[in-house]
Chains A and B, each alone.
Chain A
């Protein structure tokens, strides 16, 4: 079985800070990480490979430094890594990204065998549109199974897959056909720590670097800014609330009194609440 998984290198948005004055992002020293959601997909892919045999190819589109993310992925035990990097891709939005990736996946298929499964994460933490996955599926004409929580069984011979899919208020049990694209739900597994052997292989393994041409992309008008129907017009910091919280003084007071004071403050600001709480509360 050949599994292709798309990962993205993202700035650790927990550590991104906005410059108070200029409102620009201060990326000085902001570390980059593998999009956390992609790790669930990667681990699932590795488990399926271990269970059914085959190969896992990791694919990313990004600047040259995205190679670090791929090296990490190899360290976790992926068999092959492809970095799709080309100035033509700069500024891609969801549509352009899924175009480039789908073309690259097709090329990976030609070169290393058609994938039975394509994985993406649920969403990225810098774009978080959750649309690149579906986009790839459409373009490659793959069946699309999103928010998958579990893959109970795959029947390679019959080209059949069973999945448990998260949906509003419950879980769908689905049966579908291979090849298909799966986006994994978070928290479904935990990424493994590669063995010393994996780490050694990773360190020696080459990351394939593909340009648009290498990936067999002819129509460059579908790439990067030009291929992106959406455009970011304005970037700005969330408006700060004018006044800070009114602090209730706790100095040498019994907690009990502080609590009463707080409740009074709450009900003076939201008079309607007292009535509601009185009748819903105390259940």
Chain B
């Protein structure tokens, strides 16, 4: 919702009031779809999180939940399909073609729009990953329908249309957005914003195959190569169970070592607030928050982070938030569960030391027995 003239977004008078009389040709759009993001043989976990949400929506609407798998022929697609069912899909649409091997906008857009035009879903959910956002944008404009990005909450309202809630104004406010008079209603959701649903082994159910009518030479963009991220950059922040992050309060780049030490001591990942990335004290993929990673660890320790709203929105999913900050009035204490008002630079080593003591081998044995 990038509006040209941003007034304080009131309920758009008139239009919001419009009784949503769906045009006839959209009346037969039914069922909830989730795009199963398959890249280089791997299903992106966000797809399962979306199946979890899609399940709830489908049940409320009393319709079916379908997964959409696009990929090259091979067992990767097979696994993806199996997983889709295991995470709650009722049926799965597949488009298999060699030219879907690596992600490229053209073939994926074609495949997805063809599927939508043929099978007419009322709701289409994608992960807000680089792939998902690239695809969603062009699919939505091709289909001339509405798209709500980076949703934090999905629901169906009384007249059974999708109510998509997302942060606006840099996270300082939330807004609920509807797609009037157009189908499908599209939404993207960032990884880790929704909880991971239970996986239960299920037999592969109904599968509908779609033949992609597109030839390689019709595609202008060619993949010359792929350079996987090196180890250091492969921060698995978003999915870590324990995260320790540092902010400007640490004062100097060297002090980030204290954060890394604690993270290592308790087997967690380390992250940071945005200014540290801007000062290039840390690589961008370590940034936590609205424009960085969203995390939902079991334990999040924030040292020297004020807790600005843009940071907050990225960590609120954590089970337990511990804040270390010299300023008792820092906003982070408004949403942290445990807080310590002290100098993190002095406290972090003590905490690391204390953890190591507590988690020493023999204490492990005690726990094991």
Contact = CB atoms under 8 A, between A and B. Distances in A.
B174 A237 contact: yes
Interface string B184-208: 0000000000000000000000000
A168 interface: yes
B1 A263 contact: no
Interface in B230-245: 234, 241-242
A248 B137 CA distance: 47
Contacts of A246: 337-339
A255 B333 CA distance: 20
B178 interface: yes
A127 interface: yes
A277 B178 contact: no
B130 A90 contact: no
Interface stretch (B59-67, B89-97, B100-108, B250-258): B100-108
A270 B299 contact: yes
Contacts of B328: 247
B172 A25 contact: yes
Contact of A283 (B3, B40, B167, B267): B267
Contacts of A146: 105, 130, 133-134, 137
Q: Which of B4, B182, B268, B347 has its CB near the most chain A CB atoms (within 10 A)?
A: B4
Given A176-B222, A247-B341, A131 B137 contact: yes
Contacts of B209: none
A258 B141 contact: no
Contacts of B335: 240-241, 245
Interface string A65-104: 0000000000000000000000001111111011010000
A231 B177 contact: yes
Interface residues of B, number: 119
Nearest to A236: B174
B320 A138 contact: no
Contacts of A275: 367
A120 B321 CA distance: 37
A131 B266 contact: no
Interface of chain B, helix or strand or loop or mixed?
mixed
Nearest to B346: A255
B4 A97 contact: yes
A221 interface: no
Nearest to A14: B170
Contacts, number: 370
A145 interface: yes
Of the four ranges (under 10, 10 to 19, 20 to 34, 35 or more), the interface on chain A belongs to: 35 or more
Interface in B331-369: 332-342, 346-347, 350-351, 353-356, 358-360, 363-364, 367
Interface string A204-224: 000000000000000000001
B27 interface: no
A62 B172 CA distance: 22
Interface string B249-291: 0000000000000001111100000000100000010000011
Contacts of A258: 340, 342, 347, 350
B147 A170 contact: no
12 contacts: A61-B4, A92-B4, A143-B106, A169-B234, A177-B221, A225-B12, A232-B175, A235-B9, A245-B334, A248-B339, A263-B351, A281-B356
Interface of B: 1-12, 14-16, 39-40, 42, 44, 102-106, 129-131, 133-134, 136-138, 140-142, 144-150, 163, 167-182, 220-229, 234, 241-242, 264-268, 277, 284, 290-291, 298-299, 308-310, 312-313, 319-323, 328, 332-342, 346-347, 350-351, 353-356, 358-360, 363-364, 367
Top 6 closest pairs, chain A to chain B, by CB = A134-B137, A13-B170, A280-B267, A127-B2, A229-B146, A245-B339
